């Protein structure tokens, strides 16, 4: 995709989206034609979504008009049209997505399932569940499960449960997440049985899938597996799953796992403690900072930086003088996201380092401090990822229109996409 094609640029320069949204209830024929054209261009997705949302908001005939054009288009153009509508999350798009849920193209079916989930298609639940039972594409199955999870109707749980045994990890995860939103006790029972009684392969899959349920009732069996399963891979996945569930009840089993004989288990346990939100987790992580394995120490610093619990700011401030530069950087990021001004000078130094990842951390930390001058400096960073993070950190309130339009001319499509999204968000204020 080109950073910004001339026709898309013209729409933005003329403020056509803002003008169209101010036209109520009918959209001028010329503006409607231009926005329909924009949906079919290789324009940034956020810009196509803005065009879709505008059309569906203010043009009563938009669904019929778009439907006719989509029906006549090849698959590649159908994808582009429907992708913009899915990104807009507009409820009027559901009619279009239902029409193509059985299309020959798996990519298009997946996109339609995504769109139905995003637009809150409770009326489409039966069609989604029926498609789930006959679908064989893992990509489509994942999106169908996500859509059904968004609807969160417990009556649909029996149709989703068989997918917990899918060979595709992404499908299992999506099914578990959907069932977790439905608070499905039978899924918890099935996965717990696999975790504690299955062979290593099934126990591993059950451990990671239980985390996606996000149900606190899964903490006890996962803690049991973390403490006693003979396979370190299963123990590591149990630690991962506990981190996905989060909350103070995960602190004790994870703290005990910091003494595991396997460094990969200790590393994952340390990282997962960042989701505990308990002061006891900070105490355990302080000890993990002395682990003989460097990756464990780094994960412990990561967790402290993310941990929202009393006493962590003081620990992070002390780490600003650590001999390991990665630990210092994580500590500065953690303090910055808390708005702690002790991080300002270290974050400024990080912004000048050669390592791209450290500069991204610096931008995120400076965002927490509201350091606009430093964030504006990062808009000119040599790395596109840093520029994009700086753009998003400044947001629609901190950027001038001139800065936004300068970003629209960036050589990187990701920066242009972010700028389009911010510009459209500003037009809706």
The tens-digit pLDDT sequence of the chain (429 residues) is 445 666 666 666 656 666 665 555 455 666 777 778 777 777 778 778 888 888 887 777 888 888 888 888 888 888 888 988 888 888 888 888 988 999 999 999 999 999 998 876 677 888 899 999 999 999 999 999 999 998 888 999 999 999 998 989 999 999 999 999 898 999 999 999 988 876 788 888 889 889 998 899 999 999 999 999 999 999 999 999 999 999 999 999 999 999 999 999 999 999 999 999 889 999 999 999 999 999 999 999 999 999 988 889 999 999 999 999 999 999 999 999 999 999 999 999 999 988 999 999 999 999 999 999 999 999 999 999 999 999 999 986 788 878 888 888 888 988 988 888 887 776 554
Cis peptide before 25 (omega within 30 of 0): yes
The tokens describing 217, both together, are: 């009732």
State the pLDDT at residue 5: 63
Does any domain span residue 98?
Answer: no
Does any domain span residue 172?
Answer: no
Say how far apart CA 12 and CA 403 lie, in whole Å. 14
Contact 295, 267 (CB under 8 A): yes
pTM of the model: 0.80
State the pLDDT at residue 2: 43
Angle between helices 45-58 and 29-39 (to 10 degrees): 140
State the pLDDT at residue 429: 43
Question: How many residues are recorded in the chain?
Answer: 429
State the pLDDT at residue 22: 59
- Residues in Cβ contact with 207 at an 8 Å cutoff, skipping those fewer than 6 apart: 195, 222, 225, 234, 237, 238, 240, 241
Say how far apart CA 407 and CA 418 lie, in whole Å. 9
Q: What is the DSSP string of 134-168?
A: H---HHHHHHHHHHHHHHT-GGGHHHHGGGGG-SS
Does any domain span residue 241?
Answer: no
Does any domain span residue 340?
Answer: yes
CA angle 121, 127, 128 (to 5 degrees): 70
- Residues in Cβ contact with 266 at an 8 Å cutoff, skipping those fewer than 6 apart: 257, 258, 259, 260, 288, 291, 293, 296
Number of compact structural domains in the chain: 1
Does any domain span residue 244?
Answer: no
Q: Which of 201, 215, 259, 266 is nearest to 240 (CA)?
A: 266
The tokens describing 425, both together, are: 């968000």
399: containing domain: 324-415+422-429
Does any domain span residue 215?
Answer: no
Does any domain span residue 365?
Answer: yes
State the pLDDT at residue 305: 96
State the pLDDT at residue 1: 40
3-state secondary structure of 315: helix
State the pLDDT at residue 400: 86
Q: Which CATH number belongs to the domain containing residue 407 in this structure?
A: 1.25.10.10
Does any domain span residue 195?
Answer: no
């Amino acid at each position: 995709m080109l950073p910004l094609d001339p026709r898309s640029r013209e729409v933005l320069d003329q403020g056509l989206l803002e003008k169209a949204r101010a036209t109520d209830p009918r959209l001028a024929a010329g503006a409607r034609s231009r926005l329909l054209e924009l949906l079919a261009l290789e324009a940034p997705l956020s810009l196509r979504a803005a065009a879709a949302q505008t059309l569906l908001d203010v043009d009563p005939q938009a669904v019929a008009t778009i439907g006719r054009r989509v029906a006549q288009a090849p698959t590649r153009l159908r994808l582009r049209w429907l992708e913009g509508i899915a990104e807009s999350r507009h409820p009027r798009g559901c009619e279009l997505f239902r029409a193509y849920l059985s299309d020959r193209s798996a990519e298009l079916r997946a996109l339609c399932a995504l769109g139905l989930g995003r637009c809150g298609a409770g009326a489409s639940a039966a069609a989604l569940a029926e498609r789930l039972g006959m679908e064989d594409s893992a990509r489509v199955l994942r999106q169908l499960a996500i859509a059904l999870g968004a609807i969160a109707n417990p009556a649909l749980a029996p149709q989703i449960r068989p997918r917990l045994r899918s060979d595709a990890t992404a499908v299992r995860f999506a099914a578990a997440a959907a069932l977790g939103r439905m608070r499905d006790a039978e899924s918890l029972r099935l996965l717990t049985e696999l975790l504690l009684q299955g062979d290593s392969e099934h126990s591993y899959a059950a451990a990671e899938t239980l985390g996606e349920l996000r149900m606190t009732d899964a903490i006890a069996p996962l803690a049991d597996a973390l403490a006693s399963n003979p396979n370190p891979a299963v123990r590591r996945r149990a630690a991962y799953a506990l981190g996905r569930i989060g909350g103070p009840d995960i602190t004790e089993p994870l703290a005990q796992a910091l003494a595991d004989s396997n460094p990969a288990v200790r590393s994952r346990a340390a990282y997962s403690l960042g989701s505990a939100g308990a002061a006891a987790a900070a105490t355990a992580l302080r000890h993990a900072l002395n682990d003989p394995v460097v990756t464990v120490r780094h994960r412990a610093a990561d967790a402290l930086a993310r941990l929202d619990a009393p006493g962590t700011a003081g620990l992070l401030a002390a780490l600003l003088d650590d001999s390991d530069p990665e630990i210092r950087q994580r500590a500065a990021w953690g303090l910055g996201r808390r708005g702690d001004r002790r991080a300002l000078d270290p974050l400024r130094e990080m912004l000048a380092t050669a390592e791209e990842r450290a500069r991204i951390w610096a931008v995120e930390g400076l965002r927490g401090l509201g350091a606009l001058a430093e964030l504006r400096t990062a808009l000119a960073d040599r790395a596109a990822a840093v520029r994009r993070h700086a753009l998003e950190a400044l947001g629609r309130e901190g950027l001038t229109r001139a800065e936004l339009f300068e970003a629209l001319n960036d050589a990187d499509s990701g920066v242009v996409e972010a700028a389009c999204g911010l510009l459209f968000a500003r037009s809706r204020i």
